[in-house]
A and B are shown apart, each in its own frame.
Chain A
């Protein structure tokens, strides 16, 4: 079905042209990369932009690369690009794992990770991996560049800290100097199209430190310093895991909707937290490349 209203379309060749256009149209423009969310939002009338600024010709944003000790992921990198990248598989196993659970191959060939965090729908898959890795979001506007730590990025459901005249150029992820391993758990009904009903990311770091984040169980994805503190001070034991699971009740705020009840989400988030934690610890002890 065609979109039931008219809008303009531009495909700038450079970053400079893109931000100039964005500066001119501001909130009446939307940036188009993969479009898998945006086209749906426009069909549903949730977004009614006057102009789409298609950034797919700006090749410098297609790149995944190491810059000193940071991994940079450009705004045009799709989920299948992440799946095919040896760098991602080796350095960010949790993101590799989460990327493989996003929708289906045909969507992953087109949908970008940056688009995922810009749409900021609460059930997104890339948030928990980026939160536990303390990613930084880099934006550009006619006024210049800005960096926003991911902790401050998600403001509300579908709302981020981005300004109307800004676009995201890339995300940078600091790679820990010492050993680390992550694990991602996603609850869904079946593979291929389903959105997550709850998701958990755990990063095990050297010196018995842990980072923990939850998604799809509140208006925004959330990292929990409270649970991290507990694990970091008391270490991993059967008792601490039980204590952390009880604490989850005070950290997340799931709702009941067509996909799951809040009680089920709460229960399963605890179960998945334990699985993710154990899996991250296991991978930390015996590092090997994950394949799926």
Chain B
């Protein structure tokens, strides 16, 4: 067991972890953060996406012990003060069905538009390519991001 501390959604947290615990398990099972999901458990599906120091990563492929002194933010952080414009447009346009991929999809799209406020359709597709969705066929998601980010 090693004591680690990291910022989780803006708050400094301390806990003891074993080296073999993944970040995903620790977030969900020990810290009650349920937005990252376990889909494929090997980094392909993107359901476990969280932000580590501002970049999207796969929490199923990271050991919790690695994030000592780093900053993690999850979907819960994005909607801390109400829904973000991206979440609002996703909701308005009803882009998701089951919602299992939604937290990862929203984080990936948020990272994209933070770095690139007016992405092309190609850039949007590239940004969410690692978030698998088996309901929507992606089209409504892409259209909503395009509408939100189009130049006036």
User: Interface of A with B (CB < 8 Å)?
Assistant: 1-9, 11, 32, 35-36, 39-40, 43, 52, 54, 56, 80, 100, 103-107, 109-110, 190-193, 292
**Cβ of A9 and Cβ of B127 under 8 Å apart?**
no
Contacts of A40 in B (CB 8 A): 42-43, 61
- Decide if B35 is an interface residue (CB 8 Å cutoff): no
B71 on the A face (CB < 8 A): no
- In the bound complex, CA of A8 to CA of B122 (Å): 43
* B65 beta carbon closer than 8 Å to chain A: yes
- Write out the residue numbers on chain A whose beta carbons fall within 8 Å of the beta carbon of B52: 109-110
Chain A residues lying within 8 Å of B41, measured Cβ to Cβ, are 1, 43
CB of B147 within 8 Å of the partner chain = no
The answer to whether A192 and B56 have CB atoms under 8 Å apart is no
Also in contact, A43 and B42, with CB within 8 A (given A1-B22, A110-B58): yes
Grouping DSSP codes into helix (H, G, I), strand (E, B) and loop, the B interface class, with mixed when no group exceeds half, is mixed
B contact set with A: CB distance below 8 Å: 2, 18-22, 25, 38, 41-46, 49, 52, 55-58, 60-63, 65-66, 68, 104, 108, 111-112, 122, 125-132
CA of A9 to CA of B61, assembled, Å: 15
Q: Which of A1, A35, A39, A104 has the most CB of B within 10 A?
A: A104
A-B contact pairs, 10 of them (CB 8 A): A1-B41, A9-B19, A35-B61, A104-B46, A105-B112, A106-B43, A106-B56, A110-B57, A110-B61, A190-B129
Q: Looking across the interface, which residue of chain A has its beta carbon closest to that of B17? A: A9
User: Nearest Cβ in chain B — how far from A110, in angstroms?
Assistant: 5
Q: Check if B19 sits within 8 Å of A39, measured CB to CB.
A: no
* Overall SS of chain A's interface: loop
Do B130 and A106 touch (CB < 8 A)? Answer: yes
Chain A residues positioned under 8 Å from B66 (CB to CB): 32, 35, 54, 56
On chain A, the residues within 8 Å of B20 by CB distance are 2-7
Q: Are A105 and B111 within 8 A (Cβ)? A: yes
User: Nearest Cβ in chain A — how far from B108, in angstroms?
Assistant: 6
When distances are taken between beta carbons in the complex, the residues of chain A under 8 Å from B46 are: 104, 106
* Contact among A9, A80, A103 for B43, CB-based, below 8 A: A103
With A1-B38, A9-B2 already in contact, 15 other A-B pairs whose C-beta atoms are closer than 8 Å: A1-B25, A6-B18, A9-B63, A32-B66, A35-B61, A35-B63, A52-B63, A104-B46, A104-B130, A105-B56, A106-B57, A109-B55, A109-B56, A191-B125, A191-B129
CB-defined contacts of A107 to chain B, threshold 8 Å: 43, 58, 61, 130
Q: State A6–B49 Cα separation when bound (angstroms).
A: 25
- Asked if residues A192 and B130 are in contact (CB atoms below 8 Å), the reply is yes
Complex interface: chain A residues within 8 A of B132 (CB): 192-193
Question: What A residues does B58 contact at CB under 8 A?
Answer: 36, 106-107, 110
Residue numbers in A under 8 Å from B21 (CB-CB)? 2
A35 to B42, CA, bound (A): 11
- A106 contacts B63, CB within 8 Å? no
List the A side residues contacting B126 at CB < 8 Å.
100, 105, 191
Verify B61–A193 contact, CB threshold 8 A: no
